[in-house]
Structure 1
Amino acid sequence: MDMVLFTLGDVPVTLSYAIAAAVALTALLLVILLVNSIRSGRQRAEEATLAINRSQEMEKHLADMMRIQNEMTGRMQTMSEIFGSRTSDLARLVNERLDSTSQRMGQAMAETRTKTEESLSKLHERLAVIDRAQSTITELSGEIVSLQSILSNKQQRGAFGQGRMEAIIADGLASNGYAFQTTLSNGSRPDCVIYMPNDAPRLVIDAKFPLESWQRLKAAANDDEAKLAKAQFKTDITTHVRAISDKYLIAGETQDTAFMFVPSESIFADLHEQFEDLVQRAIRHRVVIVSPSLLMLSIQVIQALLRDVRMREQAHLIQKEVRDLLTDVGRLDERVRKLQTHFQQANNDIGDILVSTGKVTRRGEKIDALELDEATPRLAGE
C-alpha cells in the first residue's frame, strides 16, 4: 500500500501518485521545451529570412541610392553648367543694365543741371522783378507820404479833389462839353459845369467835400470826441449842401440837380452806411453825392446822350443822302433796262443772221451735189 504523503483537500496524495504526477509534469515540461525550441527555431529561421530579405532590400536600396547619387551627380553637373551660363548671362545683363543706368543717370543729371540752371536764371529774373517791385513800393510809399501831406493841408486837399474830378471828366467828354471854374449869372464859380445837349441847362459839379471834419471823426479817441466830431461833420455837410443849392441851382441856367463829388469810394460807402439822413437831406436840397465811379458812370451816360443828339442832328443829312441814293439807283435801273433792250435786239438780229447763213449753207450744199453740163436745164430762179 502506497504511503500517503499529504492530503490535498479531501484527496490523499500518495507516493506513486506523486511520482506519476512528477513524471507527467516532467514530460509536460519536455514537451513545452520542445515546442519552445521548435518555435524558437522557426523564429530564428524567420528572422534569418527576414535578415536576408532586409539585406537584399538594403542592397537594392544601396543600388538605388548609388543610381540616384549618380543621377544627382549628373544633374548637379548639368545644374552647375546651367548656373555657370546663367551667371555669365546675369553678369552680362547686370553690366548692360548698369551701363544703361549710368547713361540714363548721366543724362538725367545733365538735364537736372540744365533745368537747375534755367530755374536759377528764372529765379534771378524774378529776384530782379522783386527788386524792381520793391523799389516801386518804396516810391509808392513816398508818394503815399506825400499824399498824406497833401490831405493834411486844406488847400492842397481841395486841389486833390478838384484834380481827380477834372481827370474823370476830361477822360469822358470832349473839350467843348465842359468848363472848369466858369462864372454863372449870379457871380458864383462852380468847380465844373457840363454842357447838356439841345441847349439844356448846364449840370454843376462841386468838389469841395469837407474832408477835415471826416478826418476828425475818424481820429476821435473816445466816445465824447466821436460824438462832437459827428455833430460837427453833420453841420459841415448840411452847410455845404445848402451852399451848393443856393449858389449853383439857377432856374433856366443850370439843372435842377447838382453833384457833390466825394474823392474816395470808402468815404462814399461809409457816408451812405452811417449818415443816411445826410444823404436824404442832400437829395431834398436837390444835391446828389457822387463817388468817382458814380461820376464816371454819369459822364458815360451824358456822353451817350450827346452822341444820340449828334446822330439826330445828322438824321436829315442821312435822309437826303438816302433819297439821292434812291434816285441814282432808279436811274441805274432805267439804264440797265435800256441796255437789256439793246441786248435783246442784238440777240434777235444775230438769230436772223444765223437763219440766213443756214439757208446759204444748205443752198451751197445742193449746188455742190449737182452735175452741171450743157444739157442740164437751169434751175428756176438762177
Structure 2
Amino acid sequence: MNQIDTSFLNPYLIHLTPAIAVICTTAMLALVGLALMIFLIRRSSRLQAERQLEADRREAAAEARLSELLKAQAEMQGRLAAMSEVFGNRQAELNQAISQRLDGMTHRIGATITEQTKSTHENLRHLQERLAVIDAAQNNIQSLAKDVVGLQAILSNKQTRGAFGQSRMETIVADGLPMGAYSFQPTLSNGYRPDCTIRMPNDAPPLVVDAKFPLEAWNAIREAETPELKKTAGQQFRRDIEVHIRDIAEKYLVAGETQDMALLFVPSESIFAEIHENFEAVVQKAHRQRVVIVSPSLLMLSIQVIQAVLKDQRMREQAHLIQGEVIHLMEDLARLDERTRKLQAHFLAAQRDVDMILTSADKLNKRGTRIEAMEFETAGGGNVDDNDQAGKAVESRTGFLKLRVVDED
C-alpha cells in the first residue's frame, strides 16, 4: 500500500496542542483510507468491465462460429435429403420387384400345398372308411364262427386248403395295394418262393407274406372227443406250427433281400382268436423268430397302413421338390442382395466423385467471379495454377465417371 508523506504538516503541528495534533492525524489517516478505498473500488469496476467485454467478445465469436456450423449443417442435410430420396426411390422399386416375385412363388407354393392337403384328407377319409368296415367285420366274428364247420369241410383237402388261403390272401392284397406294389410267388436268391412279397417305401426290402397253415392238426383238436386226445392233438398242432414258423424264418428272411419280419396268414378269424387264446407260447415264439401271425382283418389293416405310407412317401417326394424350389428362390434372393450391395457401393463412390466435382466447380466459380470483377493477383500468386488444377480435377473425375458408366454397362 502507498504511504502519504505528511512531513509538510510538521511546522503547523508544532504550535498545536497534543490533543489537536492527535485529532488532525486521525482525520488525515481517515482521508487517506477513504481515498484508498475509492481507488480500489474504481480498479475493481474497471477489471469487471474488461472481463465483461472479453465475455461479450467470446460470445459473439461463438455465435458466429455456431451460425457457420448451422449453415454447413443445413447444406449437408440438403445433400443428404437428395441422396436419401434417390436411394429411397431405388429401394422402393427393388422392394416392389422382390415382393411381386415372392407373391408369385407364395401363390404357387400355397396352391401346391393346398392340393396335397386335399389329397391327404381324401386318403385319410378312405382309410377311415376302410377301418369302419374292419370294425364292422370284427363285430361279426361271432356270426362267422358259426361257419367254421363248413370252412373245415372245404379245407379238408390239403391242396384245396392251400389254394383257398392263397386266394383269400391274394384278394386282400390286390384290393388294398396298386399294381406293381406286390408280387405273388416270386423267386428269391436262395431258390425259395414265398406266397407274396409287398414292396416297401424308400426302396426298402419287400415284406414276405406266407398263406400256408397246418390245418390238419387244428382239425384234430376240434374233432378230439376226450381230454387226452385233445391234449395230444394240441401238442401235435404246436409242433407243426412251430416247424412252419421256423421254416418261414429260415427260408424267407434273407438279409438285405427281404424284411427282417414276415407275416403268417391265417384265413379264419375264429382260428386266429383261438390261437391267441390257447397257444400264447406259440405266438410269443413266433414273435421272437420275427414272424407275425395275422388274420384277414389284420392283414387288411396292415395293407392299408402300407398303402398310407406309400402315399406319404409320394407326398414327401413332392415336398422335396417344393423345398428345392424354395432353396433356388433363396439363392436368387442372395444373388439379388449381393448385386444390390455392389450397386450401392457404386452409388456411394459416384457420390464422392460428385462432391469432389462440386468442390472444383465452386473454386472455378469463385475464380470466375474474381476475374469478372477484375481482381487479379500479382505474378507470384497462385490463381492461374489453381484454375489449371481445378480444371484438371474436373476433367479427370468426369473421365473416371464415364469409364465407370461404361464398365457398369
- Tell which has more relative contact order, 1 or 2 (C-alpha 8 A, sep 6+): 2
- Which has more radius of gyration? 1
TM-score range, shorter chain: 0.3 to 0.5
TM-score (norm 2): 0.43
